[in-house]
Structures are given as structure tokens and as C-alpha cells.
Structure 1
Amino acid sequence: MPNGGIRLSIDLTSAVIAATADLHGTRIPVMLNGRIVMPHGLSVGPSGQLHVGAAAPSEPSADHQFIDDPLELLGAARNQPPLDAVQLLAGQLWHIADQAVRQTGVPVDALTVTIPSAWGPRRRGHLTDAATRASLPAPAMVTAPAALAAYATAGTVPNGSCLLVCQADRHRITLTVLQADPDGYRELATRPISLTHDLDHALAQQLTGTSTKDDDPPPAETTQSAQEHGAVALLESIRQARQLLTTQDRAPVLLPAPRQPAVITRDDVTAAAQPLLDAVDGAVQDILDAADVDRHHLANVIHHEAEAIPGLQERLAAATGHTPTSLIGHSHALADGALSLTTAHHHAQPTAADTQLPRVRLRIRDLTSAILIGGCSLALLLQAVFTADVVTVDYRVIGVRTSLPQLGVAGALAMITAFAVAHLAPTTWLAGTSTPTTPEPATGSLIRRGYLAAAAGGTIAAALYGLATGTAVEYDYQPYLKWTLGSALPLAACAAVIAATAPRIPAPQLPDWLARTRPAVLHTATAGIGIYLMQAALTLTPPVDLTGMPGLIGSAGAALLGIATALTASRSRTIRTVTAPGLAIGYAIVVTSNTSSALIIGYLVALTWWATHLAAHTLRLAYPNVRQTLGRLTGGPTA
């Protein structure tokens, strides 16, 4: 499971929306608005707020606009403004994912959505855009027939075998022939069973004596909007009545006002279904011909119904010669089946915590970075101590003047030295070899140990720097400790963040991450030399002048410090090319005894920024869906 989150599967193609979450291999039906399934309907308020899972109102509202299903608007040539079908679908997806996150307590790491077979690149692209707007991962899309086949067969169909899938759950009844292959199922042909009315519309026409189609003229006493809402409510009432007929003989149906409620029986449903049953034989033969298969090529027949259609299973058996696998009432069949098909694409990706990188024995040249950076750190510390202006009265020190920012850089470079040593931990042997009783630890464990040791060791070294300075000048150590320790602690915090999160980095990204975490010796050495020269020119009496040009050494040191600051603050080649010469010239011009501290502090800020950016990059690799989590905390999309 990537990063320990859930894989969420959403079925948008059935009569009601169903969602399943997979948490560490455990399938959890997601409760949507407190129910196991949720209606497709959306209600848009006057200010654009969405009410997801709304049932069709009995009467139209002037304040709220009801959308029966945003999926039907998706891909339409034009939508009436201010409707945005992609944004409506984004709100629906966000609401479902939010319910899943609240139920499981972990974010969504992978998303699967069941879609109709007829969808092409346009509507698939719209769905991807909707998921992006909802701060969800890019969805893996599975067609409804393939999801049903995966759920019904549980992967037991041999490769090359064919299946006939009959969907009679929501849209027009559709027949699809699939062929199993190693990657799932390949669609050979799909055909709807062409009827003047589907079963629900046929029952509605039988009960009211009128059609529910939008192109029929509305009665004079009603408006067209009222008729549309009445038709939607009537069809929903018929669906509920058919569901009741699975357990009882009679069921009530609410008719649009001013008509009184009606009652339907199983015989009424059987009579309304007769045109469909009469068309099954011809439709099956047509789909088999279109797929270029015969009845004996079929390994199984699957049919899925929200409510049972009397006689359909028997007709399918007679037309195909196979007893169909019936999925009547399996509300999560498509969500679970789609999840099974995409499992292969969402296997737990190996991370640093369970990966072992190739390692070599530690050599002197491997320590070059740490030695050079540590040398710069000690040189700056000793220069600050030996050039300190100590004021004494009667052999008692009453004041000391030295560069506190320079001490801060010395403490920060002590921490960077620890970073350089920690960088070696996952790729070098310090001593000994692994044995059966002491196996080699994983790379993630080595990274954690290395950077925790760096955080602790660098902090201790910086603290010792401050104490040593106070001891050397025989003065209160507190101001020195504040600068050395204060400059090192932000870097130590970044090392601790890296230690905590780096083991979650995906294994394929480890080499790039390791290359990025290597401290740049050239940048650090340039800064150390620049500060050393600049302070030597400003603090020594008489001033350093090896060239006969007073101030040249200090200006050169300041220029080197400016270059190092630009190289440390950014990884962009363009930004470095522009800023490095500018800072070099600017630093060389403005350097004085009064401005040198500000220039050194600028480098300290750049060094802290480098460590912070490295910790942030590690967090992004370890938790790629932080944006999604933040989106949930700040609220979902609105229409």
C-alpha cells in the first residue's frame, strides 16, 4: 500500500453510488451520508454550495437547482451556465473521498473509478480533471463490464476465455463480450438492447398513461420544469417499488400530483418486461457476431441487476447455453471488482525502509567532503577566537569584540559536517560484514540512524564551539553559545525531519535523493575561504595587504562569500548564473567592518534555506499526497 493510505474505488455507473476502501488488504464498504449507498443527485444552492447525495425533490425549487446525475452532463457539447459538469463531479468525488477518509482515518493514496464502456478520451479526461480539482490522485479507470467480470469470477477465468456481461442496473440494458488476458479484460464488442422504453419508463407510462420522455408535450396545467421533476421522482418511486417486490407481492408507487398513489405487482413488472425478454435472443446473437465468437467460446455469462427483472436470467440462459452468474442486489460489485483489477497497478511500492542499496567499504576519499567542511568550520572558529579584541582591566576581562555571525557560521558548518557523514551511512560499510545472526540493516534504517546521529552530534559540536570560545577569551560564554547553537539548531531540526521521513521514500527515488542530500563541498569551501579572507582583512592590525592594493583581500573574500550565498540558496542554473555575479560585485563594493556581519548572516540564511528545502523535498517524496490532505483540511470544491 503506497504510504500506508487507502485505495478508494468508486462506482459511478450503477443506479446508486457505492464506494469501497482497501486498507492494508481489508475491504471496507464506505458509508456515504450514513448509508451503504448514495443517490447520484446533486443540489446546487443559490451561492454555489453543493449538497451531494440529494434525492429528487417532489416539487421544483426556485433557490436550489437539482441535477439528477453530473455524470450525464459530463462530455455534453454545452451545459447551461452557470453549471460546470467537471466541477460538479469534483464536488461529488471530494465528498465521497472525504467520507472514506473520515471512516478510515487515513488519506486516499490511490483512486479507481468505474466508468461506462462508451467513454472515450474526452470524458475520461474530464474525470481526471475532476479528480485533480478534488485534490485526489489521478484515477485508474475500469469499465463497468470489466469490473463485474472481475467481481464475479475472482480472476479464475483462463486467459483467452470469453465472457458475456449483461448490465441491467441503471442505464439502457447493455450486453458486452469480454476476453480475459494477463492485464485484465479486453472488450470485444458492446451493444445496448434497443427498446422504445426501458422497464422503469414502461411501468411509468403504464401507470400514468403518458410518456416520461422530455420531448413529450407537458400538460397544460404544469410547467415543463415541474414535469421534469415529477418524472424523475416517479422513476425513483418505481425503482424503490421494484426493490420491494423482491420480498413482497405488492408495492406502492407515488404518482405526480394531483394523481393518487398506485400499486404495482410482480405481474405488472412481468408484463412491462416482456418487450425486453422478446429482444434478448436477437441481441445476444448480434453481440456474439460482432465479437466474432460462438456460444461455445463463452466461459461464463454474468448479469447484474439492481432489482430483478422477471424472466431475464432464464432468457439469457436459453440464448447462451450457460446458466448466468446473477449479481442481483450486490451494491458494491462494481466497486469491489474494479478494485481487484487495479490491485496489480497499486502494489505496495518498496521504500527505503525495506530496501538495501549496494554498499562499499569506507575509504579516506569518501570522507573528503566531511574533512573539508569540518576544516572550514574549525578555521572560522579559530580565527574568531585568535582575532578577538579582548579588553582587560587589572588582568580581568571586561569586554570582548569578535564576529558573532562568524561563530554562527562555524557552528552551522559543524552541523553540515555531520550531514556529510550521515550521507555516507546508507552506502558505505563503517566496519565488519553482515552475518546470518546480524543481517545487513535496510537503507531506511541506516538513513534514520545516520541523520539522528547527525542532529545530535552536530548540536553537541556547536554547543562545544560556544563553550570553547567563552573559555578561550575568558569571558561569559552565553553570547557565543547563542550564536553557535542558534545557527545549528534549525539544521538539526531539518536532520531530524529527514531521519523521521526518509525511510518512506520510494526505492526508485532513493538514488536521486541521495545525490541531492550530499553537501556541496565547493560551495561551502568558497564561503569559508571568503569569510576567512574578509575577516582577516578587517580584523588584523595592520590590515592584510599582500598585493599593494589596500582592501583588495577583503573585497575578494566578500565576493567569494556572495558567490557561495547564491550557489547555496538556489539549485536553478539560471538563477545562479544571474545572482552569483551580482552578489559577488555587490558584496565586494559594500564590504566594511560595519557591513561584514550582515553579509555573513545572509550566508547563514541561505544555508538554513538549503537544509529546509532538503527536508521539504524529503517530505514531498515520503508523502506525495500532502496537497490532498491539506485540501481536505481547508474544505472541498464548490460549484
Structure 2
Amino acid sequence: MAVNDLHLAVHIGAWWTTAVYTQGTTAQPLYFDGQARLPTGVYQPLDSGALLTGVTALAAGIDDPDRYRPDPMALLHAAAPTDNGTAAVAAVLAHVANLAAGQTASPVMALTIVTGRAWGPRARQRLQQAAISAGLPDPHIVTSAAAAASVVNQPGTDGPVQYVLVGTPSMELAILDCAAGYQQLAYLPVQDSTAASVDQVLVQIATERAAGDSAISPSDWRMMREIQQARATLATQPRASLLLPEPYPPAPLGRADIQYAVAPHLDRFEECVKQLVAEVELETSEVGAVALIGEDAVTLELQAALAATELAPAAILRDPHAIPRGALQLTQPLHTGNPGTAATVRLPRTRLTLANLARVAVLAACSVALLLQTIKTALTWKTGGTVTAVYLPQENLALAASLAALTGWAAAQLAPTTWIVSAPVDDDVTTGVLLRRGYLSAASLSLAIAGLWGMGTGIGVHYTVNSYLKAALIAAAPFAAAAAIIAVVAPRIPAPALPAWLRRANPPVSAIALAAAGVFIEQLAFSTSPTYLFNMAGLFQTAGAAMLGAATAFTATRQPLLRGIAGVILGGGYALVTGFFTARYLTIAYIVVLVWWAVTTTATTITASTSIGALFRRLLPPTG
């Protein structure tokens, strides 16, 4: 990854999403319409259209709470059968990434995602798939505890230290080993299982004060959101007002209410801390730093409880961007070092759709159409009931075989960027492996289909001779050889060069389709009675030749100006010289241009690969 590439770190919390990015050497917070945080939830419209995100989703969810999902990450982690958590998280990631790309005028080249806890392999695989579905790179996944430990363990704070204790507003403690890559050594929720949770107690207090009964459901996400906002307010103010559903008036909450709700869980707090430290066979004095995440009134109570222990003074990370910034500090060195090659990275992959298959389908249709036309328009001579001689345009058969080979190329291009069935959890296949498999398959299938085309032509005209098979195989052989070379060399292409190389190696489908249409129309003019063409066979012949000439120019060069000039010259020239005896040479010329395209693409692949490309650059130093 280049230094100026965009690296995005996203923390999708239970209620709020924050993000930090680097483009260069400095980390910058990402703001959402001037706000440091974005509401995390998503809203599913009634028409089942695209998911709404951010403030728009929250506004829609307030009016229609049943279709709002406030915590997409929880849905994804739980793999709830009634909710598509992967799509929900993908929508949030796409929203954040699009904003970052718009502000920096650069696409996201590296992604880090922060999770609240350490996730298992299946949940991590679903999270990776969500990022890939959003069109983002395969992400690094960092826990919020590791990110917090990274923040307090940076030079300029009290660090560096080896062991850090991290606490969260959900009253969970974890110890991490910074020297071992911020590995989590122990985890312990500070909760009394016999007591109600902090949020449940606060809901009960607010309900009794405002309604005098328990008619308000504590499971309503809108109520829990108000509780979270009140807790954040009480971290800096002595009192907060809790908005309740109509017709109930707002209910006041104070810090004393927080202390009352927390008290049952903190009765054995000091014993829990000692148990956590002893679990990893450490002494309390060996824990060099303590970090508490978030500006929350419960965090203040945890800080007060920690002060009664023998641990170091706790630092509260009040900055909403502290966690994604810490995650970025952990993963940035992984990207700014050796970017790797196709053999070591994985490009974003999306589900295979009909749109993805359009290029493959167009090439396949052109190949089949030319093959069938070649068979149907063949002139045969019979002696009795036996075909003794056949005339057919073998160059059209060769072009059909060439297009069949390029169909395999186009299919191989889909392998590293699409998937039909979601990969298994332990699938670590890289882009290089997918390229190698795809192009080796294209090489073998090119020859197999060319042989099938050649033999099928003989069977179709009831005259089996080796010349048909030979013509098809000779036409497909250069493409098969080029695909085999690419299969060997492509895994060595540097990772940053892969997207550009994939675009370069895509067959020029539009130009090829134009050429196939031109050849088809020319053959139609030669083989069809003039009355079927409204006595305009000459016009059809001229139009087909002009299309073939323009397509030849479009295939031979990628420069727009040269394409325009050469297209006019070759199109007009082909229209002037076309005839029954000259048309075959125009088709052969186009096959040669296709072979040239395959050769130049292979040469580009060789020079782009790390080892072979370096050898070529040494042997052929730039002049001047």
C-alpha cells in the first residue's frame, strides 16, 4: 500500500459509529455532516429497497420502530435468521467509506473494523463478507479493548507497558499483552447475575417517576437509546432528562440513580479484579496501565471503584475517535510495509450476478452465432446421398474458436472478484490462487472447445476432414498459451497493481462484438439470396466490412484519438475492398489483431510481476 493511499478505520458501536482515516502520515477524524458520530442503525423501507443508514434511518425508525435495527453488528454476530446482519453492516460500511472517499477524493485501499469483543471465526468471516459486499478491501479486525490499549500504550502517555487492563461501559474487564500483539489474556464481566442490569434499573426508575407504573416496555429500542444518551449526559452533568414515549412526561435522572443501579455489581469489584489478574498469573503491580472506554456515567463509577484497588490510575478515553484511532495505530504498519503480491492478498469479492456474466455471455453468443452460421451457410456437393465436397469460410470457424477462447479469459477475470457460494469460514484462498486456477482452466478449455468446434463443424456439414479441427485449434492455441503463461506469472503481480491489471486484461468485448457482427453480416450477404435482403446484399456486405474495420482499430489500440482516426480509415478501407475473395483476408487480419492483443496483455502481465518484471527492467533500461 502506498503512503498516500486511503486507510479507513471504522468502529461500529451498539449505538454510534465513528471513523478515522489516514492519507499520508497523519490520522484524521471523519465527520458526518459536522458530527463526530453517526447513528449506527439501519432502516428497511416497506418496499424492500436499499437500506437507509445514519440520521435518515434514525428519523424513519422513530416513526416506524419495528423496521429499524439499532445494532447491525449484533445482528451479524448472532447470525439472526430473520435479519440480514451482513447486509446491514455492509450498508453502514458503504455509507462511511463513501463519505471518506468523497472527502479525500480517493478510494479506500485498506480497511480496519473495530468489534466490541473478540469474535469467533464464523462471525469474523461474516464481517469480512459484509466489507467485501460493500466493495471494500478485506478488513483487519481489531477489538475495542486492543484499540484502547494501543492508545494508552503510545509514547507520550505513560507507556510503553506490557500489560494493560481495559474496562467498558458495559462493565466488562479485559487484560491484554501489548508485547504479544495486544493479545487478550483474560476477560471478565463485572456483573451480579442475580441483579437487574444497569439499564433495566434506570428504565424502572424513570417509569415509576413519570408514569407511576411499569406500562413502558424496557425492550423498546427507543427507550434504551434514551437511556444511553442520559448516561452520557450524566458523565458531565449532575442531572439528565429522560424522554419517554407519549403521553408520559420526561423523567429526571441523577448520578445517584447511576450509583444505585451500579452498586449491586460493584459489591465484589475488588475481588473480581484480583481474580482477573490471578487468572493470567500476574501481580497487580505488573498491570502497567488502565484504560476505560467512553464518556459514560457508569465509566465514572468504574474509575472510582478501580481507585480502591492497587492498579494504576485509570485513564478515561473520552474522545469518540480514540478507539478507531487506536485501531489504526495497530494496523497501519501492516499496510505501509511490503504490500505483498496477488499470491498473498485477497481482493474484495462480490456475489456473482447476471450483470457480471454479461461480458462472458456476449463473447459466448458471438462465438456460437459465427459457428452456426458457418455450418448453415456451407456449400455442399453430393454424389448420391454422400457429401463429397464442402466449401465453408474456415476463417469464420477460426474466429469462432478464438472468441470461445476469449470467453474463457473473461470467465477467468471473474474468479478473483466474484463468488457464487459464500466461502467457508477457514477459506484463506488468495487472489493469486484464484487467478492461477481461472487462467489454467481458461487455457485448457480454450483448446477443448476449439476441438469441439472443429469436430462439430465436420459433423454439422456431414463431411469430417482434419482441416476444420486444425483451423480451430490453430486459432485457439495462442490464446491458450497466453492464458497458461498468465496463470504462472499473475500471482507475482504486486497487490497495488492488481486492479489496474485486471482492467487491462479484460477482453475488449464491445469491439469484439462489433467485429463478430460485421463478419456475420458479411457472410449473410454472400450466402443469402438477394431477395431475402431486400435486394441490398451489396449494402449489407459494405456495412459488415465497415464494422469489421472499425472493430479492428478499436481492438488494436486503447488510445481514444487513435481509435477514432484508425476506425475511420480502416472502416472506410474495408468497405471499399471487401468482396467474396477478399473478405476472408479481412477476417484473418482481425484474428491476427486478437492474437496481438493477447500477446501484449501477456507481456504486460510479465513486466508487472515483481521478479520477472525487475529482470526485464534490468535488461532493458529506460533510455534518455
Determine the C-alpha separation between the residues in 1 that align with 2:114 and 2:311: 29
Structure 1 window deviating more from structure 2 (108-117 vs 62-71): it is 62-71
What is aligned with 2:280?
291
TM-score by length of 2: 0.55
- Per the TM alignment, residue 314 of structure 1 is displaced from its structure 2 partner at its CA by 2.5
What is aligned with 2:112?
112
What is aligned with 1:129?
129
Q: Which of 187, 192, 196 is 2:189 aligned to?
A: 192
- Per the TM alignment, residue 560 of structure 1 is displaced from its structure 2 partner at its CA by 9.3
Q: Does 1:572 align with 2:474?
A: no
- Across the aligned residues of Structure 1 and Structure 2, the Cα RMSD in angstroms comes to 4.1
Which runs of structure 2 are paired with 1:12-411 in the superposition (5 Å)?
Answer: 12-13=12-13, 15-48=15-48, 49-54=50-55, 65-76=67-78, 78-80=80-82, 83-154=83-154, 161-168=162-169, 172-181=170-179, 184-195=181-192, 196-209=195-208, 219=215, 227=217, 231-309=220-298, 310-327=300-317, 329-349=318-338
Which runs of structure 2 are paired with 1:521-536 in the superposition (5 Å)?
Answer: none
Distance 1:248 1:188, change over 3 A: closer
Please give the per-residue CA displacement for 1:47-87, whole angstroms capped at 9, x wherever unaligned: 2221112475698756971101111112325422xx31111
Amino acid in structure 2 at the alignment position of 1:204: V
What is aligned with 2:463?
none
Determine the C-alpha separation between the residues in 2 that align with 1:619 and 1:275: 68
Q: Does 1:610 align with 2:595?
A: no
Please give the per-residue CA displacement for 1:512-570, whole angstroms capped at 9, x wherever unaligned: 9xxx9xxxxxxxxxxxxxxxxxxxxxxxxxxxxxxxxxxxxxx99x9999766433334
Which runs of structure 2 are paired with 1:430-509 in the superposition (5 Å)?
Answer: none
Distance 1:74 1:618, change over 3 A: farther
Determine the C-alpha separation between the residues in 1 that align with 2:222 and 2:64: 17
Please give the per-residue CA displacement for 1:202-222, whole angstroms capped at 9, x wherever unaligned: 222211149xxxxxx985xx8
What is aligned with 1:6?
6
- Per the TM alignment, residue 98 of structure 1 is displaced from its structure 2 partner at its CA by 0.8
TM-score by length of 1: 0.54
Determine the C-alpha separation between the residues in 2 that align with 1:596 and 1:59: 66
SS in 2 for 1:28: strand
- Per the TM alignment, residue 96 of structure 1 is displaced from its structure 2 partner at its CA by 1.0
Determine the C-alpha separation between the residues in 1 that align with 2:4 and 2:473: 43
Verify the 8 A CA contact 1:57 1:233 in the aligned structure 2. Answer: no
SS in 2 for 1:94: helix
Distance 1:319 1:208, change over 3 A: same
Verify the 8 A CA contact 1:568 1:606 in the aligned structure 2. Answer: no
Distance 1:608 1:58, change over 3 A: closer
Determine the C-alpha separation between the residues in 1 that align with 2:484 and 2:150: 50
Structure 1 window deviating more from structure 2 (90-99 vs 561-570): it is 561-570
Distance 1:70 1:599, change over 3 A: same
Amino acid in structure 2 at the alignment position of 1:142: V
Determine the C-alpha separation between the residues in 1 that align with 2:187 and 2:45: 39
- Per the TM alignment, residue 144 of structure 1 is displaced from its structure 2 partner at its CA by 1.3
Distance 1:76 1:249, change over 3 A: closer
Amino acid in structure 2 at the alignment position of 1:343: Q
What is aligned with 2:365?
none
- Per the TM alignment, residue 199 of structure 1 is displaced from its structure 2 partner at its CA by 3.1
Distance 1:320 1:607, change over 3 A: same
Distance 1:119 1:87, change over 3 A: same
SS in 2 for 1:319: coil
SS in 1 for 2:205: helix
Distance 1:228 1:79, change over 3 A: farther
What is aligned with 1:579?
none
- Who wins on radius of gyration, i.e. which is larger? 1
SS in 2 for 1:282: helix
Verify the 8 A CA contact 1:111 1:140 in the aligned structure 2. Answer: yes
SS in 1 for 2:201: helix
What percent of counterpart residues are identical? 28
Please give the per-residue CA displacement for 1:414-457, whole angstroms capped at 9, x wherever unaligned: xxxxxxxxxxxxxxxxxxxxxxxxxxxxxxxxxxxxxxxxxxxx
Distance 1:255 1:296, change over 3 A: same
Verify the 8 A CA contact 1:159 1:181 in the aligned structure 2. Answer: no
SS in 2 for 1:572: helix
Distance 1:125 1:39, change over 3 A: same
SS in 2 for 1:258: coil
Verify the 8 A CA contact 2:39 2:58 in the aligned structure 1. Answer: no
Distance 1:612 1:27, change over 3 A: same
Amino acid in structure 2 at the alignment position of 1:20: V
Higher RCO structure, 1 or 2 (CA under 8 Å, sep 6+): 1
Verify the 8 A CA contact 2:218 2:224 in the aligned structure 1. Answer: no
Amino acid in structure 1 at the alignment position of 2:207: T
Verify the 8 A CA contact 1:252 1:262 in the aligned structure 2. Answer: yes
Distance 1:59 1:89, change over 3 A: closer
Distance 1:191 1:63, change over 3 A: closer
SS in 2 for 1:11: strand
- Per the TM alignment, residue 118 of structure 1 is displaced from its structure 2 partner at its CA by 3.6
Amino acid in structure 2 at the alignment position of 1:73: L
What is aligned with 1:589?
none
- Per the TM alignment, residue 123 of structure 1 is displaced from its structure 2 partner at its CA by 0.6
Amino acid in structure 1 at the alignment position of 2:136: L
Determine the C-alpha separation between the residues in 2 that align with 1:93 and 1:299: 35
SS in 2 for 1:135: coil
Please give the per-residue CA displacement for 1:24-63, whole angstroms capped at 9, x wherever unaligned: 1121111235421112211110122211124756987569
Amino acid in structure 2 at the alignment position of 1:67: R
Verify the 8 A CA contact 2:287 2:311 in the aligned structure 1. Answer: no
Determine the C-alpha separation between the residues in 2 that align with 1:270 and 1:284: 19
Gaps of 5+ in 2: 342-394, 396-431, 440-465, 488-579, 611-624
SS in 2 for 1:188: strand
Determine the C-alpha separation between the residues in 1 that align with 2:78 and 2:233: 35
Determine the C-alpha separation between the residues in 1 that align with 2:59 and 2:325: 31
Verify the 8 A CA contact 2:226 2:243 in the aligned structure 1. Answer: yes
Determine the C-alpha separation between the residues in 1 that align with 2:136 and 2:70: 24
Please give the per-residue CA displacement for 1:172-195, whole angstroms capped at 9, x wherever unaligned: 31100111225x212110011114
- Per the TM alignment, residue 319 of structure 1 is displaced from its structure 2 partner at its CA by 1.7
Determine the C-alpha separation between the residues in 2 that align with 1:123 and 1:620: 36
Gaps of 5+ in 1: 211-216, 353-404, 406-508, 517-554, 577-591, 623-639
Amino acid in structure 1 at the alignment position of 2:333: A
Determine the C-alpha separation between the residues in 2 that align with 1:60 and 1:20: 28
What is the count of residue pairs matched by the alignment?
391
